[in-house]
Amino acid sequence: MKASFLLAGIASVSVASAHTIFAQLTADGKTWPVSHAIRTPSYDGPQTDVRSNNLACNGPPNPTTPSDKIITVTAGTNVSAVWRHTLQSGPNDVMDPGHWGPVMAYLKKVTDAKTDKGVGDGWFKIQEGGYTNGKWATNVVIDNKGNQVITIPSCIANGQYLLRAEMIALHGARSSGGAQLYMECAQIEIKGGSGTALPKTYSIPGIYKSNDPGLLIDIYNQKAGFKYMIPGPPLFNC
C-alpha cells in the first residue's frame, strides 16, 4: 500500500500547477454564472500562510474581484460550491487529481455580505470531508464534476452571510507551509432559518496552525486506512 501511495504521488508532480477556484454557486436548484456573488481571483493559486488575513476570502498574491451580487439560499437545503481549475474551465477540469486533501465549508454572519472582508471572528464550519475508505475528499469533488455539496443548517438565523468553501492540497505538506489552501467567499442571504441555534464561532486567520497534524503531513508515507485529522474547528450541527 505504501508503494502505491508513493507512485501516485510522483505521477501528480508533473501537473502540479493545476490549482482550483470556487467559481460559481448552485442554490435552490439554480446554477448562477461564474463569479456571480463570489469574489473570484484571476489566478488560481493557493494561500500557504495560515496566519494571513487572505486566508479568509483569498486575496494577494491572487487578485480577487469584488461582486455587488448576493444569492438567496434557503436554510436546510443543499447548495453546491462549484470548483474549476480556471474561470474558463468545464466540469472535467476541476483540479489536478493528485491534489489530495480535505474539503470544508464555513459560514460567517455579516451585516453587509458585499463589503465584509471576512477577516476575524464569526466563522463556523458547516461541512467537512477528509480521507474515507481510501479516498480523499478533494477527489470526491473532482469525481462529482467539481460540485462540493454543502447543507445549509436549518437552525441558524436568517440574514446575510459569507459562505467560504475550501479545498486543501497536501501533496507538498511534508514540510511546514507546504499545504496549498484554496478558498473563495460567496455572498449569500439565508432565508427560512429557524434561528434557534447560536453557533460557537472562530477566527480566520486563527482556525489553523502550520503544524496541525492535518496540514503538516507526509501523505505518501501513511499506513493503509490511516486516520486523517481534518484541520479546523469542530463541525457545527443543528
Question: Which residue is at the shortest CB distance from Cu ion?
Answer: 19
- Answer yes or no: are the C-beta atoms of 124 and 70 closer than 8 Å: no
The CB-of-19 to Cu ion minimum distance in angstroms stands at 4
Interface residues toward Cu ion, by CB under 5 A = 19
Place of cell 480556471: 86
Strand partners, 169: 180
The CB-of-99 to Cu ion minimum distance in angstroms stands at 5
Q: Which is nearer to Cu ion, 86 or 158 (CB)?
A: 86
Distances (CA, A) of 162 to 1, 31, 105, 206, 219: 40, 18, 10, 17, 31
Q: Which is nearer to Cu ion, 109 or 171 (CB)?
A: 171
Q: Which is nearer to Cu ion, 116 or 184 (CB)?
A: 184
CA distance 4 to 14: 17
The CB-of-46 to Cu ion minimum distance in angstroms stands at 6
Q: Which is nearer to Cu ion, 19 or 108 (CB)?
A: 19
The CB-of-18 to Cu ion minimum distance in angstroms stands at 6
The CB-of-31 to Cu ion minimum distance in angstroms stands at 24
Task: Compute φ and ψ for 148, nearest 5 degrees.
Answer: -95, 110
The CB-of-59 to Cu ion minimum distance in angstroms stands at 17
Q: Which is nearer to Cu ion, 60 or 195 (CB)?
A: 60
CA distance 93 to 23: 12
Task: Compute φ and ψ for 10, nearest 5 degrees.
Answer: -65, -40
Element (H, E) at 164: strand 159-169
Q: Helical H runs in the chain?
A: 2-13, 54-57, 137-143
Q: Which is nearer to Cu ion, 19 or 39 (CB)?
A: 19
- Answer yes or no: are the C-beta atoms of 209 and 215 closer than 8 Å: yes
Element (H, E) at 26: strand 21-27
